[in-house]
Amino acid sequence: MKVPTKRITEIQTLVLHWYANHARSLPWRETHDPYNILMSEIMLQQTQVPRVIPKYVAFLKRFPTMESLANATSADVIREWKGLGYNRRALNLQRAIRVVVTELDGKFPNTIEGLLGLPGIGRYTAGATMNFAFGIDTPAVDTNVRLFIDTLVPSIATRKENDYYEISRQLMPKNKAHIWLHAVMDYTSAELRKNRPKPTKKKMAEKFIGSNRYLRGKTLDELREGSANEKKLFMIIAKPLHIPPDRFQALLSTLEKEGFIHQKNNLLSLVE
């Protein structure tokens, strides 16, 4: 699955020239600190950049060092994460940093294998961290990179993850780790997605409200403000949406198993 050398040169020239004139100025692009980079990458998972920017700045102000995040209560981390959604990412970030602080003597892994050994860190996040924190040319593939490859190398693009990683590796300019993936992301967002149809906000909202993700988020939002019993939570969150009690109870049990909440004296609270 070899991309022709001529085509590689064409793509690299196109994207790097475009990026030189259109690169977005984003706060996490001003640092190579692996803690900051990992934080931004986890926040950016399934969340748009404009929403992440203020939360990244606020989160870093609240937890400026790995030690401050590692020593914080999970409840404080979840509270600070409010507005980003997918709250599991907050706990994954804290768990990963706790491993670095307590088991690795504060030394951040600088290999793919080491990063993948951290809780909640997947192949893309590990690859992006290798590029942006350590400047090591490392392929990293997400939906944007797939679209980039499908569009610019359509004759050999496939749906197999390892194939995308191999093509991505071939397309990377040597010693451009700090900017290439940023360039691909910005180019894809600005040029390749601009004419693609987008679902209307109304349809998106209709699909989201009542989903498990919606119910989980609303439950944690309520508990961010303080403890509550199960009946109160049900009446506020689930009953208006005609959610069956057993479904809501199962959702609470899942949140408890995952380490988000606990129950004491018939009251549910965020895990401290």
**CA 230 → CA 165, 219, 222, 267, distances in Å?**
46, 10, 11, 7
Q: Are 41 and 65 a contacting pair, CB within 8 Å? A: no
DSSP state of 238: I
pLDDT at position 138 is 96
The Cα 154–Cα 120 span in angstroms is 32
pLDDT at position 256 is 86
Confidence of residue 42 (pLDDT cuts 50, 70, 90): very high
Q: Are 145 and 168 a contacting pair, CB within 8 Å? A: yes
pLDDT at position 63 is 98
Side-chain half-sphere CA neighbours of 61 within 13 A: 8
Q: How many CB atoms lie within 10 A of CB 257?
A: 9
The residue from 10, 41, 230, 272 that is catalytic is 41
Q: Give the CA dihedral 65, 185, 47, 109, nearest 10 degrees.
A: -30
pLDDT by residue (tens digit) across 136-158?
A: 999 999 999 999 999 999 876 56
Mean pLDDT value of segment 193-215: 69
Mean pLDDT value of segment 56-72: 97
pLDDT at 204 over 60: no
pLDDT at position 54 is 96
End-to-end Cα separation, the chain, in angstroms: 50
> Of the given ranges (36-50, 57-71, 81-95, 211-225), which has the lowest mean pLDDT?
211-225
pLDDT at 195 over 90: no
Work out the percent of the chain whose per-residue pLDDT is above 90: 63
CB neighbour list of residue 131: distance below 8 Å, 6 or more residues apart = 137, 138, 140, 177, 178, 180, 181
Name the residue type at position 140: A
Question: What H or E segment, with its residue span, contains residue 270?
Answer: strand 267-270
The Cα 185–Cα 124 span in angstroms is 13
DSSP state of 159: S
User: Which structure tokens are listed for 232?
Assistant: 């109160």
pLDDT by residue (tens digit) across 252-264?
A: 889 888 888 888 8
Q: May I ask the CATH class of domain 5-192?
A: mainly alpha
Taking CA 93 as the corner, what is the angle to CA 85 and CA 272, rounded to the nearest 5 degrees?
80
Whether the domain at 5-192 and the domain at 202-270 fall into the same CATH topology:
no
Beta bridge partners of 262: 269
pLDDT by residue (tens digit) across 160-188?
A: 889 999 999 999 999 999 999 999 999 99
CATH classification for the domain delimited by 202-270, as one of 1.10.10.10, 3.40.30.10, 3.30.300.30, 1.10.150.120 = 1.10.10.10
Mean pLDDT value of segment 226-241: 84
pLDDT at position 122 is 94
Confirm whether 41 is a catalytic residue. yes
pLDDT at position 173 is 96
Work out the percent of the chain whose per-residue pLDDT is above 70: 94
The per-residue pLDDT of the chain, averaged, comes to 90
**Any idea how long the chain is?**
272
- Predicted TM-score of the model (pTM): 0.82
pLDDT at position 110 is 95
> What residue spans define the domains of the chain?
5-192, 202-270
pLDDT at 125 over 80: yes
pLDDT at 200 over 60: no
pLDDT at position 248 is 87
